[in-house]
Amino acid sequence: MQDILKLIQKRKSLRISFDTKRQVAKEDLRQILEAGRWAPTAHNMQNFEIVVVDDEKILEAIRKIKSPVSEIFIRENYKQLSFSEEELRRKKVGILGNMFPPSWRKPNFKLDKADKKTLLSLERTNPTSPILIIVLYDPNKRAPASEGDFLGIISLGCVMENMWLMANSLGIGFHILSVLGANPVEKEVKRILNIPKQLRIAFACRLGYPISKPAKYLRVRRNVKDFTHHNRFGNKGLN
């Protein structure tokens, strides 16, 4: 097992195709699910169900789902963009704008008539992979006295991180997909997988081995002193 801090620092989402002819070993998959099993959850609710999909026809059916362009996503995403590596290094948060189409890199973006009729295939955000893991939760069950089930949502994030780190420690590529939990995509995924009506999709993750080297991109984080306050808020750093 790799040093935990180095493993955390190396963790990243691989937005590229995985080799569908190279299956993830069942024992490795079990270890990834075991890591998710031991994630901390509020009041030990274990507020998740997991669907593992490795049937090629089902995976292809999910990739063929069409999704409308989200004006809200594009407009809110713009606030997180930097337009040069120098700007990103200075901000220490967000992502580079060149990851998105030129039309998505404008403030106050609005869908025109053509955009509103455009449906994007999930093939763009969900490249090929031999395995798709879908994490579900029941919004009718929440952690006690947790407004909006904030603690329950944190718990789902812990499940994600545990599985992600375990996959990376095994040399398995990992890519988080949030689009499967958005309407109308979620409705179609639930139909394909026969998921009960009351359950929601929290997130999905693609697993596999990359068929090419992932492109290098600038990764930034704030320094510890930038977000740490000692004894009182505003007293930056550890004194």
For each of the domains in the chain, give its residue range(s) and CATH number, in order of start: 4-67+122-211 (3.40.109.10), 70-117 (no CATH)
Using one digit for the tens of pLDDT, what is the confidence trace for 182-228? 888 999 999 999 999 999 999 999 999 999 988 888 999 999 999 99
- Taking the CA atoms of the chain, what radius of gyration do you get in angstroms? 19
One digit per residue, the tens of pLDDT, for the chain of length 239 reads: 559 999 999 998 899 999 999 999 999 999 999 999 999 999 999 999 999 999 999 999 999 998 888 888 888 999 999 999 999 999 999 999 988 888 888 888 887 766 655 566 787 778 899 999 999 999 999 999 999 999 999 999 999 999 999 999 999 999 999 999 988 899 999 999 999 999 999 999 999 999 998 888 899 999 999 999 999 999 998 87
CA quadruple 28, 34, 36, 38: dihedral, nearest 10: -150
Using one digit for the tens of pLDDT, what is the confidence trace for 96-119? 998 888 888 888 888 776 665 556
Tell me the whole-structure pTM to 2 decimals.
Answer: 0.91
pLDDT of residue 156: 98
| Cis status of the peptide bond prior to 68, with omega within 30 of 0 | no
